[in-house]
Structure 1
Amino acid sequence: MRIFGVILAGGEGRRMGGADKALLPLAGRPLIAHVLDRLEPQVERVLISANGDAARFAGLGCPVLADDRSQGPLSGVLSALTAAAALGATHVVSAPVDTPFLPGDLVPQLLLAAETSPGGLALASDAGGDHPVTAIWPVGLAPALAAFLAGGEARVRRFTEAHDAARAVFSDPRAFLNLNSPEDLVAAEALLKGAA
């Protein structure tokens, strides 16, 4: 089993005033660097799904994949599945660029949950609900995902439900905290300072 990670950094950051969310500073470092710190130790290799100038991520040492067509997070997942399969990976774990507190046992817990899914797909969940963009995807799902997107559908939850995704339940309510606004960024700074 070979597991790659993909950081989904293709969002438009509308609630952040149109800023490139991946590069927003959090505790003096770009937001994407925090997600990379959490994901990288758990996977063989990390890819970045992002459109636009790939050079802005050059310092991170990760390949940058552009979407064939932009239909939200699933376009990034499909690009990652295709690239990872070509490099010999069996699975891809996806995570949004605005989740800097991902758990250190994300991948093992997703793998355990995936064993209970007929298609091997599992997503993260906590007391607040499901987090379907944070999931483990077998590379064999690429054709089904491509067909789903080609049909004009792009909702992550609809795809995960159609493929009987299992749930890995996490207890830390901050683990999947999304930073969607400037206020969220301020709160995350406070959390990091409190942990230091």
Structure 2
Amino acid sequence: MHEQTCGTDVVAVLLAGGRSQRMLGRDKAFVPLAGRPLLEHCLARLTPQVATIVISANGDPASYPTDYPLLPDGNDDHAGPLAGILKALQWAQQTQASTHVLSVAVDTPFFPVTLAKRLCDIAETESGRPVLAMSGGRLHPTFGLWPVALLDSLEAYLAAGDRKMMLWAEQQGALSVTFEPFVGHGRSVDPFFNINTAEDLALAEGLLAEIGKEEGNV
């Protein structure tokens, strides 16, 4: 059994449905980093933080690990990350009776090991509002803690044709938690640095070689 470091009853969703045109249209989840797919790096980082993880993805189900429920969007209207969060909220409500869903993006392999705990600490006092990660003065809405109670609101928002993640989060009175950079590869690095290009991948390879996986100071 995994040690759950988040006090709130949480299901984590790994958002792995995107493709990167700058990475020749490859499925980001399976882009190799130090010999392992990004998906594996993120799962290893997320597993100690929560008790339950689901994967939001639209690829071949046989490509994904069977240990985690796979939640396809079920549509082709390019609803983006919010579609994955919606499916996770529905799954959490129907299957787990959980109070919150934690979202994490698969192209961001150095996200903080304290992510769940710190977002949950805020949610315990502001349970009805989303809590988003922030670094360098910038919000990262794909790294958020979403109350399951907002399920109906999100369904209505998407049904109206809206797709902007930050707009919906702001409408729900989103709060934020600031995470500091870490030092790696001779530079200050945003923990939410995401991999979009071959150059980003090369930088991530260097960072991983220097700091090692699962560094507690990230």
The two structures, once aligned, show a CA RMSD in angstroms of: 1.4
What amino acid is aligned across from residue 130 of structure 2 in structure 1? L
Q: Of the candidates 94, 105, 112, which is equivalent to residue 121 of structure 2?
A: 112
Q: Of the candidates 78, 81, 91, which is equivalent to residue 89 of structure 2?
A: 81
Percent sequence identity over matched residues?
Answer: 44
**SS of residue paired to 2:47:** helix
Q: Of the candidates 186, 189, 194, which is equivalent to residue 202 of structure 2?
A: 186
Any unmatched runs of 5+ in structure 1? none
Deviations 1:51-108 (A, max 9, x none): 121110135x111101133400000000011011112221110011101001111011
Any unmatched runs of 5+ in structure 2? 1-7, 182-188, 213-218
Q: Of the candidates 122, 133, 136, which is equivalent to residue 131 of structure 2?
A: 122
Work out the CA distance in 1 between the residues paired with 2:20 and 2:84.
16
Structure exhibiting the larger radius of gyration computed from Cα positions: 2
Q: Give 1:182 deviation, angstroms.
A: 1.1
Q: Of the candidates 69, 73, 84, which is equivalent to residue 67 of structure 1?
A: 73
Deviations 1:97-139 (A, max 9, x none): 1010011110111112334547231000011411011000111
Asked if structure 1 preserves the Cα contact closer than 8 Å seen for 2:100 and 2:145, the reply is yes
Name the TM-score, length of structure 2 as normaliser.
0.85
- 1:134 alignment partner in structure 2: 143
| Bigger share in helix | 1
Name the TM-score, length of structure 1 as normaliser.
0.94
Work out the CA distance in 2 between the residues paired with 1:14 and 1:57.
21
**In the alignment, structure 1 residue 2 sits paired with structure 2 residue 18:** no
Q: Give 1:174 deviation, angstroms.
A: 2.7
Any residues of structure 2 matched to 1:141-180 within 5 Å, and which? 141-172=150-181, 173-180=189-196
